[in-house]
Amino acid sequence: MTPAPGRPGRRHTARTSPVVPPIYQTTTFELDDTAYADIQGTGGLHETWYSRFGNPTVEAAAAEVARLHGAARSLMTSSGMAAIATTLVTLLGSGDTLVAARQVYGDTDDLLGRDLPALGIEVVRVDTFDLPAWRRAIAGHRPAAVYGETLSNPQLRLLPLPAVAEAAHQVGARMVVDNTFATPYCTRPLELGADVVVESATKFLAGHSDVVAGAVTSDDVELHEQVQRRVITFGGCLDPHAAFLVWRGLRTFEVRLARACQTAAAVAAVMATEPGVSHVRYPGQPDHPDAGAVAEAVMPGPRGAMVGLVLEGGDARALAVLRRLEVAVEATSLGGVETLASVPFNSSHFNMPPRQRLEAGIPPGLLRLSVGLEGTEALVADLRRAIAATA
């Protein structure tokens, strides 16, 4: 039989726009003169022609992240670590110095302590809350970039961002911040002086514990394109299916965060006087070490959905409490609709020896809660039951 004329199965364009962006599950796009001109002009950064360079579903997710930050551009990466590593390697080369916070996520700590020095980059560490130390280190080392977490994992200390960014800019350094814990619901770092925001979209942005993704956000289009070129050459692009889940999660970002932050503040206030809890770490509590001017500048409204409880009895007690929780799920990660609980000593910061954990401000007995949508009553009852059972 003669084959039917034309290419089979390729007429799929809708006459009207879909309300939800389609998942463009295609590696490649038909080339035309505009695409060739972009390939030959910019290296193919702007046109849609190959999905490692750009894909409409991935760009739909990036546009939402940029909107939340009020930023010119965002680009999506395959994970939060891809966002962090790709950005830092774009900004730094052999012989350069990075001044970075001591209080950071465990794998970022490995990147700063092991991988960047192996590339010939000097990394100088400073306590994230110590502004005079930032100023000294930045003026003394004249770094190419400065790095910190707006709200640190897991100490929940705040970076005095406006003043640190000002010190960075005085020596011509770029200010890069990881805003994963604070989220753009509570903090928009570009408005506080940051040049680049890196985020694990795996967490609150996507919000359903079902996708690993990252985002890099900036108002500097040239810088954005420099990072984009490294996403292209290092290959850390986001898959369109994953991007769709990020986009879908972002549809409810504001309502999820409103509820989670409100619950977190209420749980923190109740737990502050609970027998068995030696203290609570929450940026909205009046006894938080950064309460006052720093907290008001960096988190002017809600103070996030992460809560730290320090249990009397150290890590063994914290682990025992964790094991007895019935509403909160014993799992690493954060930012999902379900409350996740973990103890950093055996998960996010297991690779730090106990003394280094102490120096980084991670006390024995710390239980980290990523508050979800279950509501205050259910979570307080769950914690109370678990704490009482381990008394």
Ligand X SMILES: Cc1ncc(COP(=O)(O)O)c(C=O)c1O
Residue 347 C-beta: closest distance to ligand X, Å: 9
10 is catalytic: no
Of the two residues 155 and 202, which places its CB atom closer to ligand X in the complex? Answer: 202
Among 55, 150, 202, 228, binds ligand X (CB under 6 A): 202
- Which 223-252 residues touch ligand X, going by CB under 6 A? none
Residue with the shortest CB distance to ligand X: 80
Three-class secondary structure assignment of the chain: CCCCCCCCCCCCCCCCCCCCCCCCCCCECCCCHHHHHHHHHHCCCCCCCECCCCCHHHHHHHHHHHHHHCCCEEEEECCHHHHHHHHHHHHCCCCCEEEEECCCCHHHHHHHHHHHHHCCCEEEEECCCCHHHHHHHHHHHCCCEEEEECECCCCCCECCHHHHHHHHHHCCCEEEEECCCCHHHHCCHHHHCCCEEEEECCCCCCCCCCCCCEEEEECCHHHHHHHHHHHHHHCCCCCHHHHHHHHHHHCCHHHHHHHHHHHHHHHHHHHCCCCCEEEEECCCCCCCCCCCHHHHHHCCCCCCCEEEEEECCHHHHHHHHHHHCCCCEECCCCCCCCCEEECHHHCCCCCCCHHHHHHCCCCCCEEEEECCCCCHHHHHHHHHHHHHHCC
Of the two residues 352 and 387, which places its CB atom closer to ligand X in the complex? Answer: 352
Is residue 180 a contact residue for ligand X (CB under 6 A)? yes
- Size, binding site for ligand X by CB under 6 A: 15
- Which 150-179 residues touch ligand X, going by CB under 6 A? 153, 178
Among 21, 44, 54, 80, binds ligand X (CB under 6 A): 80
Residue 80 C-beta: closest distance to ligand X, Å: 2
50 is catalytic: no
Of the two residues 126 and 306, which places its CB atom closer to ligand X in the complex? Answer: 306
Among 168, 175, 192, 212, binds ligand X (CB under 6 A): 212
52 is catalytic: yes
Is residue 345 a contact residue for ligand X (CB under 6 A)? no
Contact segment (CB under 6 A) with ligand X among 45-53, 73-81, 167-175, 184-192 equals: 73-81
Is residue 282 a contact residue for ligand X (CB under 6 A)? no
Residues classed as catalytic = 52, 105, 178, 203
